[in-house]
Structure 1
Amino acid sequence: MRHKESHRMEHLGWLRAAVLGANDGMISTASLLVGIAAAQASHGSMLLTGFASLVAGSMSMATGEYVSVASQADTEKAAIRQETAELAHDGEAEHRELAAIYMQRGLDQDLARRVATQLMAHDALGAHTRDELGIHASTQARPLQAALASALSFAVGAAMPLAITAFTPARLLVAVLVAATLAGLACLGALAAKTGGAPALPAAIRVTCWSALAMGSTIAIGSLFKVGI
């Protein structure tokens, strides 16, 4: 029977963007809300602020992710164009270069040359793109996918503290918001780690500690300015 394996590398592009977006949406919105709650802002002001944070943050995440990943995609395309030109100009030199790569990975000289010959006969550009440039189909930059994943996940993450603010009494709001957000972020960190095949506990602890620091900072700052808006 044919041996089958399942790896998570093909999920790295959208998973990274989605986890970053949800984490940022949850912690930034919750931190903002507990900060203005500590400043004794009115319930209506808090809801308006939270909704504005959701919309602006989603657009900001989408824009930043698209620009970042598009730059990576442009770099990859430029490298592939250069490699195409080099293959057309001096195929022998490219063959020697590919064989040298395989020798560095442990093949003897004769076998490395034969592997390079067969791979280049099958798909010369694909072989050089993969083994010389390190560009793989599973991890290739996809700007639109990353932007959409970031925007949607940010909105989902920000919706949780916003919903808690809408339905929690003012006297309990800060405590409930902090506790629920930390619990949600811990679950998110563990889920992301598990999806990527990494240990869940260290990821959960890491995101919880940094998030607690962020919310503690905004509460301290808000407490200094009791504006009551």
Structure 2
Amino acid sequence: MSEAQGLSTHDNEPHQQDTAQRLNWLRAGVLGANDGIVSVAAIVVGVAGATTSTGPILTAGMAGLVGGAISMALGEYVSVSSQSDSQRDLIAKERRELAEQPDEELAELASMYQAKGLSPATAALVAEELTAGDALAAHLAIELNINEDDVVSPWHAAIASAVAFTLGAILPLAAILLPPEGWRVPVTFLAVLIALGATGWLGARIGGGSRTRAAWRVVIGGALALAATYAIGNLLGASGLVGG
């Protein structure tokens, strides 16, 4: 029974890994959207505190959106490139070891299955059959918990990050530009804080943390950012340094 359970657990690991990867991507998307909301909202509210003219607000908001999306994409590309390079190096190292010392690698694979609860005879049989099928895949799965076909793509990560940031940034842009002039800042505050509460709650739900605490954390942080930039914009507008 223990041997069957050990094999069953191993068979389920790829599905669990795929699910975890999808959840990580979803959580990263939520955080990217959250960054877009806060960053662009702080910019447009700050400008709106200094001037009521639509042109400067739109210009600043679009600059923040484009610059932020590119920055997020670049940061994600660099980070994921390092991760994918590391994965490829590990795969190349494992492939080289299998070519240079196949017997030692076979014995290592068998010992790993034995450590999972299989008897020495069964572990040796499993190792031999997996090696005959795809030795590299067998070693990568049990030693490194990776799949040769699942090496992360830095381009995919960069594009996803830029898209998430852009989608988040659209909300404060629309909230500051669509309402009548006197309602722009209050509507933007309300829309942004509601959206931040939702993204904080969703991010915590995906990550398994406290949803209420996470929602309040991002709402309070976002409110402080908006209040600070609006106050600075107001001060600059009142000082005459920028046109009203």
Asked if TM exceeds 0.5, the reply is yes
The one of 179, 191, 201 equivalent to 1:180 is: 191
Once the two structures are TM-superposed, the CA of residue 138 in structure 1 deviates from its matched residue by: 8.6
- Does the Cα contact within 8 Å between 2:137 and 2:148 map onto a contact in 1? no
Over 3 Å counting, the alpha-carbon distance change for 1:166 and 1:111 in structure 2 is: same
- Does the Cα contact within 8 Å between 1:83 and 1:125 map onto a contact in 2? yes
Partner of 1:53: 64
- Does the Cα contact within 8 Å between 2:31 and 2:203 map onto a contact in 1? no
Partner of 1:129: 140
Query: What is the DSSP-based 3-state SS (H/G/I as helix, E as strand, rest coil) of the residue aligned with 1:168?
Result: coil
**What does 1:9-20 align with in structure 2 at a 5 Å threshold?**
9-12=20-23, 14-20=25-31
Once the two structures are TM-superposed, the CA of residue 193 in structure 1 deviates from its matched residue by: 5.1
Matched-pair identity in %: 43
Partner of 2:101: 90
Once the two structures are TM-superposed, the CA of residue 46 in structure 1 deviates from its matched residue by: 1.3
Q: Which has the higher contact order (CA 8 A, sep 6+)?
A: 1
Q: TM-score, normalised by structure 2?
A: 0.78
Query: What is the DSSP-based 3-state SS (H/G/I as helix, E as strand, rest coil) of the residue aligned with 1:8?
Result: helix
Over 3 Å counting, the alpha-carbon distance change for 1:30 and 1:91 in structure 2 is: same
Partner of 2:8: none
Alpha-carbon distance in 2 for matches of 1:130, 1:40: 59
Partner of 1:120: 131
Alpha-carbon distance in 1 for matches of 2:213, 2:124: 44
Over 3 Å counting, the alpha-carbon distance change for 1:222 and 1:103 in structure 2 is: farther
Once the two structures are TM-superposed, the CA of residue 33 in structure 1 deviates from its matched residue by: 1.7
Matched, 1:147 2:179: no
Alpha-carbon distance in 2 for matches of 1:192, 1:111: 43
**What does 1:53-92 align with in structure 2 at a 5 Å threshold?**
53-92=64-103
- CA displacement 1:185-208 (0-9 Å, x = unmatched): 2223434555x4846545434433
Partner of 2:46: 35
- Does the Cα contact within 8 Å between 2:113 and 2:123 map onto a contact in 1? yes
Counterpart amino acid of residue 242 in structure 2: G
**What does 1:205-224 align with in structure 2 at a 5 Å threshold?**
205-224=216-235
Gaps (5+ residues) in structure 2?
1-11
Radius of gyration: which is bigger? 2
Matched, 1:228 2:242: yes
Which 10-residue stretch deviates more, 214-223 or 73-82?
214-223
Higher helix proportion:
2
- CA displacement 1:14-33 (0-9 Å, x = unmatched): 42442232111111101122
- Does the Cα contact within 8 Å between 2:88 and 2:151 map onto a contact in 1? no
Over 3 Å counting, the alpha-carbon distance change for 1:121 and 1:210 in structure 2 is: farther
Over 3 Å counting, the alpha-carbon distance change for 1:100 and 1:217 in structure 2 is: farther
Q: TM-score, normalised by structure 1?
A: 0.82
